[in-house]
A and B are shown apart, each in its own frame.
Chain A
Amino acid sequence: MRSIRRYLIVTLTLVLAVATLIIIAVIYRVTHHKAEDVLDVQLSLQGRIVASLLAPGTPEQEYARIARHLDQPGHPSRWFGDAASPEAGQASPQASIARRFHTDERMLTLGFWEADGMPWLMGAEWNDAGPFPAPQQQGYRWETYAGERWRVFSLILDDQQRWLSIGLRERFHDDLSRQLAMGNLLPLLIALPALLLLVGLVVHRGLRPLLSLSRQVAGRNERELGRIRLAVPRELRPLRDALNDFMARLEDALARERRFSADAAHELRTPLAALKVHLDNAMAGERDALPRAYASIERLQRVVEQLLTLVRLDQEGEASAERVNLLALTQTLAAEMWPQARARQQLLSIATDDAIWVEGNVTELGMLIRNLLDNALRYSPHGGWVEVSMGDNDGTAWLVVRDSGPGIDETLLASVTERFRRGSNRDVEGSGLGLSIALQVARRQQLTLQLTNASTGGLEAWLRWPQSAVS
């Protein structure tokens, strides 16, 4: 359906047209049937009147007189009584009163037969192609004569010597029915344009709420995503509510994106600002400024790399999975990070000896655990410790990184994995992206990452594998 309006208008118009045609056909049929009844009664009545006028013993010359009255122009009647001269039956022109007062007089005629079926008198029309067929019995019948159907009523006269038939062309029935049907069709045809106009108006009115809703939606943009409060008909309510839901989700997503770009700007511009100030200071001869500038660059580099990692994680498809020895992987990472730990005299240890095997992507798992270790080392104090344990209970693998840092404020636990969210300790240099990356990788690897404050202080980062991923 390419256009509801077109569909409705076309369909309703067709329905109207078909309904009109059906009505006309029914009127025609009913009228035809009813006309036959009425005309039958008329035929019978006229036959009886004629018969009653011809009392027994009516002289034969009387029939000649009747024949003269039945003449019509071009269609002479004929009396067969003058056997001596076959032509004598034709009424003399002087005597004939062949005149038609109404064209429909052609439709009605009558005839007489002798008891043995020989024609006695044929009215106009019934004599044109030889005598009309003789009646076999009294009452109504259909007869075909000269290619046309006639409705015929027959009865025997009182003298029991002759038959009388009186007939009406079928075309008269047809004309009557057609004229009645047409008489009904005309008002309908006149009303049809008005009806179509009405259909158009109704369709237009019916579709108006859809148009209003469209305008409301068209009026929205990324800055104006308020709920549509327009009152709509029941059928449009699900659409309106779905649109509102969609816009609410979109607004959330946009707000997150805006916050992300604002935060990204802050995390990139602040070290840049620091870098510039330190370089200015260095040019002014401050001795400590250059190492500080160098540290700013390292920090900037880290933020840029983390941002790129996040963008890549957002875009990349599913990573391939393989069997990973979690213990071996963690040992490798811990060895890599040993210098970072030793620089602040921190103790980094793994409390598990048994190999744990899981299904996963070794690169992404490595990124995940490295981020957790890095986070733990950063937030642990000088001379503190970080401990990793892992295990495999009931077919569910887990890994936990415990640190000796301050932990995270309970109110911040939920939001700390959001991008750029950090604990309140700003003396630790970090962009707030590490845990966000860890969470994203965990999601990609179908792991749950949970942060809890240990009862002994410090933070615990729990990684749990789903049952099926353990091998």
Chain B
Amino acid sequence: MRILLVEDDPSLGEGMRVALHREGYTVDWLRNGGDALAALDSDAFSALILDLGLPDMDGLEVLARLRRRHTLPVVVLTARDALVDRLRGLDGGADDYVLKPFDLAELLARLRVVTRRGEGRRSAQLQLGALVIDEARHAVTWQGQEVSLGRREFALLLELARHAGQVIPRSRLESLLYGWDEDVESNALEVHVHHLRKKLDRSLIVTLRGIGYRLEVPA
């Protein structure tokens, strides 16, 4: 999953980038509202973490503008704890808010909640026949057996599973998995798909040549 992090504080931003990356997210970090709005228009993201105290414009303003065009889940990060501010944030289109200073575990849990709520899911476990994915524990079970997956492999499987049965264009998958920062080998995606097929089942992921991939819902 690809997260857009909008935080103007260098230290906090760096710490969060590292933490989200460790959790298997692809993270793109921007420091002001204008850049964030431009990025949302040009790229695909799974969720947005938005700090309200931005140098160029108020975070609520960013929220209001992005809500005109986008429905992606938004977790607001704020130091403003007055009830009126929290209500304004939620009414302004935030899916959730986290008060600074926050526990990383709490932020990650809330992030998982808002993303799966976007898919109409309530449980942290994603079950597709014999395939069970536990988002919180980063654990995958296939036909009752726990399977050990790499960070990228897990991210790819989760992305496919979240839209099981639908074709996900290759470019979107690459964007969600790698963001802007990392150099991507041209065949990196194929390599990860290959590993997933080997560790799980060959027929699970269907390649649509030149278009993208699809996760076949297992019986």
Interface residues of A (CB under 8 A from B): 262, 265-266, 268-278, 280-281, 284, 286, 288-289, 292, 295-296, 299, 422, 424, 426-427, 429
Contacts and interface: CB of A to CB of B under 8 A. Distances in A.
A452 B16 CA distance: 37
A270 B56 contact: no
A276 B16 CA distance: 10
Contacts of A266: 53, 79-80, 100
Contact of A286 (B12, B18, B100): B18
Nearest to A426: B8
Contacts of A292: 11, 14-15
Contacts of A427: 10
Contact of A289 (B18, B53, B103): B18
Among A266, A271, A273, A284, residue most surrounded by chain B Cβ atoms (within 10 Å): A273
Chain A contact residues, majority secondary structure: helix
Given A266-B80, A426-B55, A277 B9 contact: no
Interface string B101-132: 11111000000000000000000000000000
B152 interface: no
B182 interface: no
Contact of A273 (B14, B80, B100): B100
B7 to A, nearest CB: 9
B81 interface: yes
Interface residues of B, number: 27
Given A274-B11, A277-B12, A289-B15, A262 B104 contact: no
B22 A275 contact: no
Nearest to B77: A273
B19 A277 contact: yes
B25 to A, nearest CB: 14
Nearest to A262: B80
Interface of B: 8-12, 14-16, 18-19, 22, 31, 53, 55-56, 77, 79-82, 99-105
Given A270-B79, A272-B101, A284 B19 contact: yes
Contacts of A429: 10-11
B102 A276 contact: yes
Contacts of A424: 55-56
Given A269-B100, A281-B22, A426-B31, A274 B12 contact: yes
Contacts, number: 81
Contacts of A270: 9, 12, 53, 79, 100
Given A272-B101, A273-B101, 7 more contacts: A266-B80, A269-B79, A271-B9, A273-B77, A274-B9, A289-B15, A292-B15
Nearest to B98: A273
A279 B9 CA distance: 17
A296 B101 contact: no
A154 B107 CA distance: 127
Contact of A278 (B15, B82, B102): B15
30 contacts: A262-B80, A265-B81, A266-B53, A266-B79, A266-B80, A269-B99, A269-B101, A270-B12, A270-B53, A271-B11, A273-B101, A274-B11, A276-B101, A276-B102, A277-B12, A277-B15, A280-B19, A280-B104, A280-B105, A286-B22, A289-B15, A289-B18, A295-B11, A422-B55, A424-B56, A426-B8, A426-B31, A426-B55, A427-B10, A429-B11
* Residue among A276, A277, A284, A292 with the highest chain B CB neighbour number at 10 A: A277
Contacts of B19: 277, 280-281, 284
A273 B8 CA distance: 13
Contacts of B77: 273
Contacts of A422: 55
A110 to B, nearest CB: 105
Contact of A265 (B11, B16, B79, B103): B79
A382 to B, nearest CB: 15
A284 B22 contact: yes
B15 A265 contact: no
A230 B158 CA distance: 65
Please list the 6 inter-chain residue pairs (A to B) with the smallest Cβ-Cβ separation, ordered nearest first.
A277-B15, A274-B12, A272-B101, A273-B101, A269-B100, A266-B79
Nearest to A267: B79
Contacts of B31: 426
Contacts of A278: 11, 15
A426 B22 contact: no
B96 to A, nearest CB: 16
B10 A275 contact: no
Contacts of B53: 266, 270
Contacts of B100: 266, 269-270, 272-273
B9 to A, nearest CB: 5
B80 A426 contact: no
A295 B14 CA distance: 13
Nearest to B107: A277
B58 to A, nearest CB: 12
B101 A426 contact: no
